[in-house]
Copies of this chain bind each other. A is one copy, B any other.
């Protein structure tokens, strides 16, 4: 059941040029190439393409997608589950935007007032914070088991520092002053270095994702077994205790 390039393009709704491009960069090499140079795609190729589009939908750059897919430890099921989760969040953001639009409609009419923050609710950052985190952790792992390329940048380095510091504390109570200081550093870091603002609620949610999603858990626990759980608890405590 080999398919020619245009058939594939039409089936999945992308251009022929795009498939050429994916071949060029080695992201999707057709299973067979005839003597005339014609590309023929197999069933397997289609499945890979599906994966590629899943990742693309979540704005992963092609380079990363390539690395992730070629990682022998890549687990399709896990990937699918994470995607599901991220899509659900994307949907929530759309709901937010719709709400913002509705509010704006009233605002334009002069019926209500809107704060500046409200005017941009849901439109803030095109991808959500979890996604950002996922990219870092997952990407980092995919590139190199020892995080080589990740360490090359200052942000990644500092991030690892904090993880390590927290790992050292993971057997103390999460409410301890030391743990809370380290966690507040983490909170600070996220808010200053990632360019996104995390509300305390979001921060708490992020912590919960650390244990709810195996991908996160696995990656975080590389710094020390049980770190994800510890961070989750410490983050929850931090969030609950710093509300005003």
Contact = CB atoms under 8 A, between A and B. Distances in A.
A189 interface: no
Nearest to A91: B94
A88 interface: yes
Contacts of A105: 77, 80-81
Q: Which 4 A-B pairs have the closest CB atoms?
A: A13-B124, A13-B125, A53-B123, A12-B120
21 contacts: A11-B116, A12-B123, A12-B124, A13-B195, A13-B197, A47-B119, A50-B119, A50-B123, A53-B123, A54-B101, A57-B97, A83-B101, A84-B98, A84-B101, A84-B102, A87-B94, A87-B101, A88-B98, A90-B94, A91-B95, A94-B94
A112 interface: no
* A54, A57, A123 pick with most chain B CB within 10 angstroms: A123
A120 B50 contact: yes
Contacts of A80: 101, 104-105, 108
A76 B53 CA distance: 34
A172 interface: no
Interface residues of A, number: 42
A98 B57 CA distance: 12
Interface in A9-24: 10-13, 15
Interface string A107-150: 01100000011011001111000000000000000000000000
A100 to B, nearest CB: 8
A46 B116 contact: yes
A4 interface: no
Contacts of A47: 119
Nearest to A124: B13
Nearest to A83: B101
A165 interface: no
A35 to B, nearest CB: 27
* Residue among A88, A97, A125 with most chain B CB within 10 A: A97
Contact of A108 (B76, B94, B97): B76
